[in-house]
A and B are shown apart, each in its own frame.
Chain A
């Protein structure tokens, strides 16, 4: 996989209020969100955000409500204008675009999936899915097949002539995804796309997204407030709080080494055995060793290893990557990694030293 940077956000600031430029000075002087609101009546939306998003990967931006994540994603296609900073897509500064270029960007390079679906209620499912083609003036006879293809791909065969209100939430969001795919853009922005769905359907949709991604390798920017969802989908995880990035990186690393008590709180609630992978807990060692109970792949989650070991903490396993041995995993170490506070203490200590 290439490590080509598709979207790069540089020192992005967003301040809501009547005179954002003035307020920006205060924010640069390190005034915090509450003080800015009380003393100057401006709301700090985003503060000094810099993120690189790799082509063909899923970047998940996670934060609680009010953390600025929805504001951030809307800067990428300029549904919201920033106060300061740069958004660079394919080497071009999006903020320098005029109206026509911006429209081109939205039509051809970026598509978006919304939390509340935002389908056109007066149009059929097929017409909704075809929106991006319809917008650029492709005649109906030409877009019908394309839209139908994507509807089928997201599992909506034979619903073409239904109206959105006749579908369940999960099915409406499938239409939303089909609509985004029909545009054939490289970049997909997903704003809490699955948050309005019930848990079972949400899991289905996550699996659908991962399956699509395996095939299509889009650059996906996914917003969520759900850590489990974030860890499941993310290649790159960005955690936002109060408009600031507190930590970003590979999800496993954040999990093992959270650098902020806020993240520690966050990750203390999740099922670590399911989320952590063998590669995050193993010790690198490629030499031969006796007394191993078996082999595990380095991308296996810990739950699988626990099941394999039958709960025996004296066992150790050889970790393999595509069949090649790369390390050793002892079940004792694995069990220790499942205790969140220990892990986080380690993380903070590691950072301090």
Chain B
């Protein structure tokens, strides 16, 4: 006797239940119960179960078990998967090209061009000799211990993904700042993207795309890292002094002029803070993405874990820290320069 028999009897569904009882596959708990032999002793009131799907199924064979939920979700996903692939594959194909191109470019450019070039970029962005020499030193150190190639792969992926995040994220942020309705819809999605455990991104993507394609990890990184740039663009534009906006209106600016000449320039410090966060989150995700064949330092970390190669794992981890410090300092220095220009 199951605990909820009375419910189905009372509802007069007994016949319907019995009709389906024999076909349902056994749950693991049932199997174990069976091997232990005999029915469990009559349950006391103390053990009365919550009316969960499994408990109800126990009373009524036609009632679905809880595994039907996960199974259903899986079947549902698999059934639309082909359709989604047809649409998503061509749309996301350029991402694969960008990633392959960047990886090729970063790998084939000789170190004696690459390192000075990066130092030059840092110098232009940050205008700080100290920072430039620090960056040069860090990369030289990584190269000296033969991690140059891995570091470049990681940087190439971040370069592509962060750029795409900005290109897509800033317009989304602008759209959010202009429509309260869109903001209400977008915020829960952004919250979900940010809190969903990072590994969970990978599962549906593996079904949708081939693991050999770079866009698989590209999409995972972008989904995860795009959130801060969207949020901070939205916030930055909403925080622009209303009095200045009013003045822009009073002088007859169109909304496009207002956006380009007032809102974006004044929101720039916040947007830059978002870009900084986006780059840092790309770096965090690129390590996890090594699980789905993303090249770079993450592969070494993974090797450290899998083969218990303590040294390789630790050194690769420290290499990631160095990259993180470089990227953070350079974007923060750029941000500081923007801030100086915006002081009120």
Using a CB–CB cutoff of 8 Å, the interface residues on chain A facing chain B are 77, 79, 103-108, 110-112, 114, 116, 118-122, 131-132, 134-136, 163-165, 179, 183, 189
Q: Is the CB of B252 within 8 A of A106?
A: yes
The A-B contact count (CB < 8 A) is: 65
Q: Is the CB of A107 within 8 A of B243?
A: no
Partner of B243, one of A104, A116, A131: A116
Partner of A114, one of B247, B257, B261, B262: B247
Q: Is the CB of B343 within 8 A of A112?
A: no
- Assuming A106-B252, A111-B251, A112-B250, is B344 touching A118 (CB within 8 A)? no
Q: Is the CB of B252 within 8 A of A104?
A: yes
Q: Is the CB of A118 within 8 A of B341?
A: no
Q: How far is the CA of A280 from the CA of B36 in the complex (A)?
A: 113
Q: Is the CB of A165 within 8 A of B243?
A: no
Q: Is the CB of A112 within 8 A of B341?
A: no
Task: Please encode chain B, from 188 to 204, with 1 for each CB lying within 8 Å of some chain A CB and 0 for all others.
Answer: 00000000000000000
Q: Is the CB of B342 within 8 A of A122?
A: yes
Q: How far is the CA of A189 from the CA of B251 in the complex (A)?
A: 11
Q: Is the CB of B253 within 8 A of A135?
A: yes
Partner of A112, one of B251, B253, B342: B251
The size of the chain B interface, using a CB distance under 8 A, is 21
- Assuming A106-B249, A118-B243, is B254 touching A165 (CB within 8 A)? no
Query: What residues of chain B lie closer than 8 Å to A110, measured between beta carbons?
Result: 250
Q: Is the CB of B243 within 8 A of A114?
A: yes
Q: How far is the CA of A106 from the CA of B246 in the complex (A)?
A: 12
Q: How far is the CA of A165 from the CA of B241 in the complex (A)?
A: 14
Q: How far is the CA of A110 from the CA of B247 in the complex (A)?
A: 12
Q: How far is the CA of A115 from the CA of B195 in the complex (A)?
A: 44
Query: Looking across the interface, which residue of chain A has its beta carbon closest to that of B254?
Result: A103
Question: What are 20 of the A-B contact pairs (CB < 8 Å)?
Answer: A79-B250, A105-B252, A106-B250, A107-B252, A114-B250, A118-B241, A118-B243, A118-B244, A120-B262, A120-B265, A121-B266, A121-B342, A121-B343, A122-B266, A122-B342, A132-B251, A134-B261, A135-B253, A164-B344, A165-B343
Within 325-344 of B, Cβ neighbours of A (below 8 Å) are at: 341-344
Q: How far is the CA of A134 from the CA of B254 in the complex (A)?
A: 12
